[in-house]
Structure 1
């Protein structure tokens, strides 16, 4: 299994349209679809893209989320925070204490961060990072590099980080989990796109666990730390 990009970030939402339009405005995305049960918008780069997809789930999992969004604030951090508050975000306290980033929550209560200036975030666009909880960050960095085609880069010291091989886009940051994954799916997950040449089952050989193979054009897996992700069928 090799994909040259992570194709989608998929978020469970009670109101996909309202939440999707918030994030489209927050990140400057290009709207793709706006339907009652789903909203999609695109974050383009020179030679790849990342789609943010919001799917209707009437009762999203109450389990602690293990993947969240870090937005680039940089030298304009306070201006970015102020703009997000005007768009409908609210300040959030998740026990972060005295930190140089600002924690906000989106209109459905999901926490995200607006980051201070860091060299590793200066080429990622408005979406700086995708911190993912991991029981073994080095192991999981190797797993995600193998399945996604993303490459190891310098990020936050002590946090294994991957980025698209073009050197653009957000970092996928493997962060030491505060607790093992419990029951309940992640409300935000990653989608990978299979290539036609990929042999069936290779993702399992790399360390994934099969979660479900529904009669749909994707298969649901979990990474070695239990985080769900989907592999979309190859395009014909």
Structure 2
């Protein structure tokens, strides 16, 4: 039996403020915050399976994250409004390798350097909620997608030599996407990490490309310190 997504951990210097930023940006709810942690929860209508859990990390961020979030938009006007709102909250432009290329999406970073993209409207993300996707840099996207499909029970929806995408079995919520990036910028622990509640059988603590997977032990309750989810 595959595991299920429970949380997405993100290291930041100031968890409460980061939680407040992302709750405002996504129109989600802060359900717990203290000096060492901040938790942001999606509404049930979004279909997103994970909370965002911000953990305190004082070490300086020195390179782009290998995992980042893409935000969905419903129209060009909505995309423009999302970008403006993000900037008002403190986001800034970021370069994750796009340079001066003109792209239909906008690359930003939150005030603590966590990169994210605000996408132009795309049919694939209709009904995904506030988040379009969690994107993972990969040397071999199709192979890594197959691994994560087995680990999570999600379905491969798109695949090509430089891209692959998984969708939750119910067809709701954000995609899990893999994009080719042969520059291995990973040094030390990733600052963005998926958290899985394991199913039956063995589950690795890292995927084949070394991206950490935080495993909740059998019997752990991912919501033990916060209000219960309704799923």
1:25 aligns with 2:27: no
Match of 1:51 in 2: 51
Match of 2:41 in 1: 42
Classify 1:89/1:155 alpha carbon distance in 2 versus 1 (closer, same or farther; 3 Å): farther
Conserved in 2, the CA contact under 8 Å of 1:181 and 1:225?
Answer: no
1:123 aligns with 2:127: yes
- Structure 1: gaps spanning 5 or more residues: 209-220
- Counting only pairs closer than 5 Å after superposition, residues 11-160 of structure 1 correspond to structure 2 as 11-45=10-44, 49-75=49-75, 76-96=78-98, 97-154=101-158, 159-160=163-164
Match of 1:212 in 2: none
Classify 1:81/1:48 alpha carbon distance in 2 versus 1 (closer, same or farther; 3 Å): closer
- Relative to the length of structure 1, the TM-score reads 0.84
Classify 1:143/1:94 alpha carbon distance in 2 versus 1 (closer, same or farther; 3 Å): closer
- Counting only pairs closer than 5 Å after superposition, residues 183-202 of structure 1 correspond to structure 2 as 183-195=187-199, 198-199=200-201, 202=202
Structure 2 CA distance, aligned partners of 1:105 and 1:222? 25
Match of 2:227 in 1: none
The Cα shift of 1:155 comes to 7.8
- Relative to the length of structure 2, the TM-score reads 0.85
- Structure 2: gaps spanning 5 or more residues: 221-231
Structure 2 CA distance, aligned partners of 1:155 and 1:71? 21
Secondary structure of the residue aligned to 1:123 is: coil
Structure 2 CA distance, aligned partners of 1:131 and 1:155? 14
Secondary structure of the residue aligned to 1:68 is: strand
